[in-house]
Chain A
């Protein structure tokens, strides 16, 4: 590898970095993505030239096939299928790294000079070790991503699957994988093939065992983690074949993916380790400390409750007043709607509301109702109401999932608020419209210990005076925990059924 090649690799890696950093701002994101793509293209061309393999026709055939399939999928896939698509692509990348690792482990794909250099400098153990490690991380990524994609695509059961001796098996496969990889440092010849096959199998089993247990709200985090892993796999494969560009970009992707994973974990109040090995959101193992905390928490909760009762009383008075004015309105409209009775309906609540928060969830994605949501917001805004959107960090099946869908419906992203920014406002608004969201606003998360969502920060929808729930049914969400909000006696309007239709009804009903 010549000096020029290293310099070019460094420049391209910097371009990738610049591209990623541009992608963290909305304005420059498109340009950032194109910049990264360009850097990648340049990297491919540089590799073709520097490695002297421009004449090898099989490369172009393979690229063409991959490019066709990839481009077709990218243009055909629906926005709602985005999470599983990302997971699938990610897995394929990991698989590719594993295959590169297989070639290197077998000593294939090195030029004559490279082979001489490896032998002369005693790099062989390093090459074998990194090749096997690339196979291991790549296979974990591939299998894990495929399982995640399968779960998201509903081919596999979405609930966490726990097999017999699950934690023990997971640990065993992990240790076994590491054992084979480390053995690669010392063996040669036929034993290397054994190590290779062993790594392949053990890593795949580990990937399967670890991903099949993940379910519910942990899915986005797992995908993000696998994303990071596929970068690491690439980077390690790059070490095996001594490619600086590959090592650099893989490292960047691995680290930023890990950071993104951490950001998400923090948003959900989950520890990464507990997702990986603990499985089902058990309370932290520090058992003795919990009661003390709970006592304090209980006192605080009682005080909060008292405060809330007072607030509620005030609200009820306010509501009664509002109902009276509504009654007046309804009486006025009686000629047009003789059947309308005095009971407030979802539509009447929205008609009177001046400040509304919309809470979208995965159900909105499923029903493809984002355009109807936008219409509802437009209608409310045309009546002078303020409409905001509260986006839970893990609403949907992927962080940012809701933002993407709402952006598709041309919702101004300045109206989208993150959980921390809006959570205190729920008690101040007139009404909240929930569209296909459940777990992210389930008040049970605050106290239902031992459930998958326990401890996850939720949107304080239950503090709102009026809640309109446009969910398909009242079944527990992805996490499988009942939502006590649905059985609240006052101020909850259940508009069940396909969100598209219920929203159209609501829009029509707003006088």
Chain B
């Protein structure tokens, strides 16, 4: 386990970084950007996989597998759908560049 203070500081640092990195986005890209970040919020799949896997190995029973599996599936819908939709949108912006 990592010390809570380290976790919190990682959170703070990333928050600041994230804040500065998209300061000057043209509103043209707000939708794809929002949808891209939406896909990224599916990153919780990582946590879901870890927790479900460990619960399986520890033999925590079928209920944990159902809850965990549901978490993984929902997050996967978020990730795959999110990146897919974002890609589709961005391709539309780019096709006339050729």
Task: Name A residues whose Cβ lies closer than 8 Å to a Cβ of B.
Answer: 1, 6, 13, 16-17, 19-21, 23-27, 29-30, 32-34, 36-37, 40, 43-44, 47-48, 51-53, 56, 58-59, 61-63, 65-67, 69-71, 73-75, 77, 79, 82, 85-86, 89-90, 92-97, 99-100, 102-104, 108-112, 114, 117-118, 121, 123, 126, 223-224, 227, 230-231, 233-235, 237-239, 241-260, 263-264, 267, 391, 393, 398-401, 403-404, 407-408, 410, 412-413, 416, 418
In this complex, what residue of B is CB-closest to A116? B1
CA distance A207 to B48 in the complex (A): 23
Query: Are B47 and A243 within 8 A (Cβ)?
Result: yes
CA distance A138 to B83 in the complex (A): 20
Query: Are B92 and A407 within 8 A (Cβ)?
Result: yes
In this complex, what residue of A is CB-closest to B91? A30
Main secondary structure of the interface of B (DSSP, over half): helix
Query: Are B45 and A412 within 8 A (Cβ)?
Result: no
Query: Are A86 and B69 within 8 A (Cβ)?
Result: no
CA distance A256 to B34 in the complex (A): 9
A41 to chain B, nearest CB (A): 9
Given contacts A234-B42, A256-B19, 19 further A-B contacts (CB under 8 A): A16-B40, A23-B90, A29-B32, A40-B39, A52-B57, A53-B56, A59-B52, A63-B76, A82-B31, A89-B42, A89-B78, A90-B38, A99-B70, A112-B58, A243-B46, A248-B10, A250-B41, A250-B44, A259-B22
Task: Name B residues whose Cβ lies closer than 8 Å to a Cβ of A.
Answer: 1-4, 7-8, 10-19, 21-58, 60, 64-65, 67-97
In this complex, what residue of A is CB-closest to B72? A62
Residues of A within 8 A of B17 (CB): 17, 252, 255
Residues of B within 8 A of A256 (CB): 18-19, 21-22, 37
Residues of A within 8 A of B87 (CB): 30, 33-34
Residues of B within 8 A of A58 (CB): 52, 56, 65, 68-69
Among A20, A108, A391, the residue within 8 A (CB) of B22 is: A20
Query: Are B49 and A234 within 8 A (Cβ)?
Result: no
Query: Are A246 and B46 within 8 A (Cβ)?
Result: yes
CA distance A21 to B80 in the complex (A): 20
Query: Are A96 and B71 within 8 A (Cβ)?
Result: yes
Among B55, B73, B83, the residue within 8 A (CB) of A37 is: B83
Main secondary structure of the interface of A (DSSP, over half): helix
11 pairs from A and B in contact (CB 8 Å cutoff): A20-B40, A21-B21, A33-B87, A59-B69, A73-B85, A89-B77, A95-B74, A97-B71, A100-B71, A114-B1, A252-B21
Query: Are B34 and A399 within 8 A (Cβ)?
Result: yes
Query: Are A103 and B67 within 8 A (Cβ)?
Result: yes
Query: Are B50 and A36 within 8 A (Cβ)?
Result: no
CA distance A397 to B2 in the complex (A): 42
CA distance A32 to B18 in the complex (A): 15
Residues of A within 8 A of B25 (CB): 24, 260, 263
Among A59, A93, A413, the residue within 8 A (CB) of B93 is: A413
Query: Are A74 and B96 within 8 A (Cβ)?
Result: no
Query: Are A110 and B41 within 8 A (Cβ)?
Result: no
Query: Are B22 and A260 within 8 A (Cβ)?
Result: yes
CA distance A391 to B46 in the complex (A): 38
A366 to chain B, nearest CB (A): 17
CA distance A99 to B63 in the complex (A): 12
Question: Known interface pairs A33-B86, A100-B47. Does A93 touch B52 (Cβ–Cβ under 8 Å)?
Answer: no
8 shortest interchain CB distances as A-B pairs:
A66-B76, A53-B53, A74-B84, A109-B51, A70-B80, A400-B31, A251-B14, A255-B18
B34 to chain A, nearest CB (A): 6
Residues of B within 8 A of A108 (CB): 51, 55, 58, 60, 64
Query: Are A93 and B74 within 8 A (Cβ)?
Result: yes
Query: Are A93 and B42 within 8 A (Cβ)?
Result: yes
Question: Known interface pairs A89-B78, A92-B74. Does A227 touch B41 (Cβ–Cβ under 8 Å)?
Answer: yes
Residues of B within 8 A of A112 (CB): 58
Query: Are A89 and B85 within 8 A (Cβ)?
Result: yes
Query: Are A62 and B85 within 8 A (Cβ)?
Result: no
Query: Are A40 and B11 within 8 A (Cβ)?
Result: no
CA distance A96 to B33 in the complex (A): 21
Query: Are B30 and A400 within 8 A (Cβ)?
Result: yes
Residues of B within 8 A of A100 (CB): 44, 47-48, 51, 68, 71
Query: Are A59 and B49 within 8 A (Cβ)?
Result: yes
Query: Are B37 and A231 within 8 A (Cβ)?
Result: yes
